[in-house]
Structure 1
């Protein structure tokens, strides 16, 4: 809940600390700015007149929830959680704060919080439909709608570990909010991820050089804490799961729904599909 993490949240306009008001129906700062808490339990913290884009639609969020709830990405969540646990423990914090950027429905963050006793979580996503689910994903999660490119509405040196799973990154802001010794744990798609679906469905492939670009962007703010590692496994997916996977991804914007349905109907009842990601741990300089 927001009241459990309000001590680390910051006014996105001037960076000052926030506190709850009117039984946490609002968050307010000493400078007089006020941010309404939605009835679903999330708060929008944006410095401008509005967010630059809306993020995942309700349909994409629903597809994500369906796909992840079936456990297809379990090896990914286990690997991310394992490394975040080590990173949080290394800081020595009694109640480590875990931040997930691009938290979506809270699938990864909830698993992490269950694995770290006394931890608290802040989930940030730009999508309001995602934030509504995120706010209810775990009793120790505070859900925030914000744009990572605009900045993170958290106070300096307040977060023990940051997890980012197939989501945008802002290295300068990550370094600012991390405590000394804290780490960022990123999972990015690797070449070959979901390749069995690319040709029959016409969906997007993984760009070349993703890891190299990420490290270049982090230069001056973060450095590698360990060698990147590969996480690879095979999923056996039926047509409904494949449809949900495509529906939760950027490919949902690039294939007409009617065309996608026709292509899905031509697939076999089940397919073996490769999931492949690179796990990267970084610490601030």
Structure 2
């Protein structure tokens, strides 16, 4: 799978804010007291466990924002599968700046690599089927763009990025509107000609009602495997089918076998554990 890196202009505000949060009001008291000015070093970013890498541009930016003289040489690019102990990149330059930026760089790299690794695991679980694994809007506030990038690095795809991407009519919309029909009719009346419309259904009866109004997609929420199989047959290609709700590595293949088009998984972004990556100091040179 190929995917494009995010432009630096999209990354810098988030990385800058994270560095400023860490530097506080007085800077790095520990490093400034211990490491001499002008001391230079070379360190390596090492995977402490196997997984998929994502977030190297953020790590590089964290180092460069602290000191432009820091250089990072990437050995294993975003989207790469790495083994335990494998070197991902090396960082060279002023030691003070390197240590000051270390935690911010690692926070981004470990978090996003964890998401990429989790995504790759569920993509592997449905291999042999045609489904796409997609993420949701259950993201860390302020990090959605980055977390959705990490999903792509892991071989997944993105659902909508925000409320303005598409219309997704959920159970509360239906309840307030007074039913599926009025909800869809009102939504369609207010939508632009390029806006897709998806409706969430919990039962096959709701699905039948929704299909009569020709939505672009149907979200089959928390349905049993048997109901999902029947739902796919009912839709028969008239809309995109999306399975959602408590999908795990153990259940993903069975759900994929029902023939749904998409499997959306919230825990990829809201609960994926980090990938343990460290900045190791094999040698240094002083000036």
In the superposition, the TM-score normalised over structure 2's length comes to 0.31
Q: Which has the higher strand share?
A: 1
Answer 1 or 2: which has greater helix percent.
Answer: 2
TM-score when normalising by structure 1: 0.31
